[in-house]
Structure formats: structure tokens, C-alpha cells
């Protein structure tokens, strides 16, 4: 192919066009930058220096000067909500929705932000209405999760169940709290006056179906979870409660006994009820032996209390304290010692002077005088009060009783069936 000299003309021409395009871009950028108010840059500087109060004031000034800055309005609304200034956050997002020229995508964004404002402000009715209005939008998934939180806080378990089922279809993952929603309905039926075991049984059947369905979907392990056994334990405990309401001792006993096999680490939650079931069936000694052997593998404070108290009542102080010495030597526990002294004080108050003298003359263990027990327990109690609590593995919220749902962060199955002293 022959080279034509006139082609050389294109080389400087191309360079010239590129130079002009670059100049135009730079000019446009500089022009837009000059149009931005100084308050905008001041606000950015305050944000970078972690001074949100001053940043908010600067951005408010920008918004007044240029009401078309929608992204700035969204940023302001989020800042107000994080600071707890809910009225100001609501006004910002309402002003955005009042604009007729707002694009559909930004209108959905504003609706979602406004619904979040209502939720944090505790205006649940308006929040629910706002999230329901986002069905089918790009924010449908977070809106559905927010609706579930609203229904949980209102204890509207039927609507929570419907929302959770809808969520499961969208995300195709197990929803562990679905089992608990049905269990909450069953528990409420049992707490009625009089109790309604038939209604509770229907809800429990639904909980069992939800649990079986969840088992078919692989559930990822979580460092915060109490384990996949938690729903099964609750179902077994409710089954026992329903049987007790129907005076069916056999079914109640079998349900409680199943916890030891299916979820042995949860034995402390049902130990007292299980031993009472053994007693009602005339198998007190057998029950104590089963619980005692279980304690050797899965020690827990509640299990210790039941075994020690049962031995104290059945075989006397020496047998109970022999068990206690071995147990506390293997698993030292101030809470265990505190419970042990508590039982001794109750026994001392109920016993006669003759039985107390017989215990002292029995040989071997020499029991301390009653007043010494009271003084010793008083000293120990001061150190055990902060340890005698369950703690949420998600947020650290501490409670004296076991919860299936944390009252602090509302997460499900984040409490281990052990107290603080036992997990430290």
C-alpha cells in the first residue's frame, strides 16, 4: 500500500481535537465547582473530621441555597435519623416526596427513608403503611424485613408468619424465627384463663412442620446462634406443657426426656420439670440418677441445683454434699455454692432440733451451724449477682431468665442455656 503524504495532516488535527475536548471537560468541571456553595465543602470537611453537628448546619445552608440537591437531602435525613432527631428527618423526606419532578427511583428511595424514620420514631402504624407501599419496588426486600420486625414488636404473630413465609420465597433460605412464631401462639393459648390446649396443639403442629421444612434447607453455622437444636427444644417443652394441661403425665414425661437426647446442652432448662415428672411417676431415684449421670457430661448450674436438692431431700445432707464436693471440684462455681447454701438454709429452717442433732452425730460430714450458712451465703451472694445471668451472644444484653428472643436486639436463638459464670 502506497503512503500518501497528505495523511500527515490528520496527526496534528487529532491532537488538536483531543486538546479541545480536554479543555472543555476541565472548564465544565471548574464551572460546576464554582457553582457549589462554600458551605458544601465546609460540610464535607466537618464530616471528614467527624464533626456531624457542624456538618449538618453546613448542609442545611446548602439545601436552602439549592433545593434541587436531592442526594444532599437524603444525606441530611440519614444524619438526622442517626442523631435521633426524628422530626427533622421526617420533614426532610416529606419535602422530597412533595416534589412533583422527583424521579420514580428517588421517590421510592424517599418512601423507604421516611418509613425508616417512622419506625425509629416508634410510629409503627405509619411505618407499616410506608413499608407496605414499597411492595414490588426495588426496596421490597428490606421493607419486608422491616415489616417482620414491626409485627414481632406488636406480637402480631399471624402477620409475622405470613411475612416470614413471603420472605422465604424471595431469599430461598431458612427463616428460623418462623418456628418461634408458631410457638409464641401456642404459648399464648396455654397462658389463657382457662388454658386452651387444643389451640396450642394446632400451633405446635404448625411449628413442627416449619421445623421439619427448615431442616431440609442447609442452615449455616453462626457464632451467635444457640444452635439448630433450639427450636426442637422449645417444641418439646411446649409439648410437655400441653400434655400437663391435659393431665397426660406419660406424654409430658416423654417430651421432657427427649430433650436430654436431642439437645443435651439444654438439660438445665427442663431439669426441674423432668425430675418432678419422675416423682409423679414414682421414679424419683431413677430420675436423680439419670440427671446425675447427665451432669457429669453436660454440667450446668440448673442441673446441679436439681440433683443436689433431690439428693438432699431423698438421701440426706451427707449424700448431697458428697455430690456437691465432687461436682464443684470438677466444675468450680460460686453460683453452685450459693444455690447449695440456699437449699441448706431452707432445710435448716424446716428441720427440727432432733433431726439436726442426728445429722451431726451421723459421722463423716460435720454441718456448719445455721447462722454460719446465712453469713457465708450473704458474702457469696454479693459476688454472684452479676454472674447469675444469661447473656445474648449478639448484643451482650443480660437477663436473669432465658429468652428465645433477645429483648435487647430482638435476635432469635442468641442465648446459650448457660449463665455468665459457666461460659467464662
Annotated binding site: 392, 395, 406, 409
Segments in 216-248 forming alpha helices (H)? 229-245
**H/E segment holding residue 390:** strand 390-391
Asked if 273 and 240 touch (Cβ cutoff 8 Å), the reply is: yes
Cross-strand bridge partners of residue 415? 392
Phi, psi of 390 (to 5 degrees): -90, 150
Cis amide linkage into residue 194, ω under 30° from 0:
yes
Asked if 175 and 151 touch (Cβ cutoff 8 Å), the reply is: no
Q: Which of 149, 183, 186 is nearest to 164 (CA)?
A: 149
- In 97-154, DSSP assigns E strands to none
Distance (Å, whole) CA 167 – CA 319: 55
Distance (Å, whole) CA 302 – CA 300: 6
Asked if 275 and 288 touch (Cβ cutoff 8 Å), the reply is: yes
Question: Known binding site for Fe cation: residues?
Answer: 392, 395, 406, 409
Amino acid at each position: 500500500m502506497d503512503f500518501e503524504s497528505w495523511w500527515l495532516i490528520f496527526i496534528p488535527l487529532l491532537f488538536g481535537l483531543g486538546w479541545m475536548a480536554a479543555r472543555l471537560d476541565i472548564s465544565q468541571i471548574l464551572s460546576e465547582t464554582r457553582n457549589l456553595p462554600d458551605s458544601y465543602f465546609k460540610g464535607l470537611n466537618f464530616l471528614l473530621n467527624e464533626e456531624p453537628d457542624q456538618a449538618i448546619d453546613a448542609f442545611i445552608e446548602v439545601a436552602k441555597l439549592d433545593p434541587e440537591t436531592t442526594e444532599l437531602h437524603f444525606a441530611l435525613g440519614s444524619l438526622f435519623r442517626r442523631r435521633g432527631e426524628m422530626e427533622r428527618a421526617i420533614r426532610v423526606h416529606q419535602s422530597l416526596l412533595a416534589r412533583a419532578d422527583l424521579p420514580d427511583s428517588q421517590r421510592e428511595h424517599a418512601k423507604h427513608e421516611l418509613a425508616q424514620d417512622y419506625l425509629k420514631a416508634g410510629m409503627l402504624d405509619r411505618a407499616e403503611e410506608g413499608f407496605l407501599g414499597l411492595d414490588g419496588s426495588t426496596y421490597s426486600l428490606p421493607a419486608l424485613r422491616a415489616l417482620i420486625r414491626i409485627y414481632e414488636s406488636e406480637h402480631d404473630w399471624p402477620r409475622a408468619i405470613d411475612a416470614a413465609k413471603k420472605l422465604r420465597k424471595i431469599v430461598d433460605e431458612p427463616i428460623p424465627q418462623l418456628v418461634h412464631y408458631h410457638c409464641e401462639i401456642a404459648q399464648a393459648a396455654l397462658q389463657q384463663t382457662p388454658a386452651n390446649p387444643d389451640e396450642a396443639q394446632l400451633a405446635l403442629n404448625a411449628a413442627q412442620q416449619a421445623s421439619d421444612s427448615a431442616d431440609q434447607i442447609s442452615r449455616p453455622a453462626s457464632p451467635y446462634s444457640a444452635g439448630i437444636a433450639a427450636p426442637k427444644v422449645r417444641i418439646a417443652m411446649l409439648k410437655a406443657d400441653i400434655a400437663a394441661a391435659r393431665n397426660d403425665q406419660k406424654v409430658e414425661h416423654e417430651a421432657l426426656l427427649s430433650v436430654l437426647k436431642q439437645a443435651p446442652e439444654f438439660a438445665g432448662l427442663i431439669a426441674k420439670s423432668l425430675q418432678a415428672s419422675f416423682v409423679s411417676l414414682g421414679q424419683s431415684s431413677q430420675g436423680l440418677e439419670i440427671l446425675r449421670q447427665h451432669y457429669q457430661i453436660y454440667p450446668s448450674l440448673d442441673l446441679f441445683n436439681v440433683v443436689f436438692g433431690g439428693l438432699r431431700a431423698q438421701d440426706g445432707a451427707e449424700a448431697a454434699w458428697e455430690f456437691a464436693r465432687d461436682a464443684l471440684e470438677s466444675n468450680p462455681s460460686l453460683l453452685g455454692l450459693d444455690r447449695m447454701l440456699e437449699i441448706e438454709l431452707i432445710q435448716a429452717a424446716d428441720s427440727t432440733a432432733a433431726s439436726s442433732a442426728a445429722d451431726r452425730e451421723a459421722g463423716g460430714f460435720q454441718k456448719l451451724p445455721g447462722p454460719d450458712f446465712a453469713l457465708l451465703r450473704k458474702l457469696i451472694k454479693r459476688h454472684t449477682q452479676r454472674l447469675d445471668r444469661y447473656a445474648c451472644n449478639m448484643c451482650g444484653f443480660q437477663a436473669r431468665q432465658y429468652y428465645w428472643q433477645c429483648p435487647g436486639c430482638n435476635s432469635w436463638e442468641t442465648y446459650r442455656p448457660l449463665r455468665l459464670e459457666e461460659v467464662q
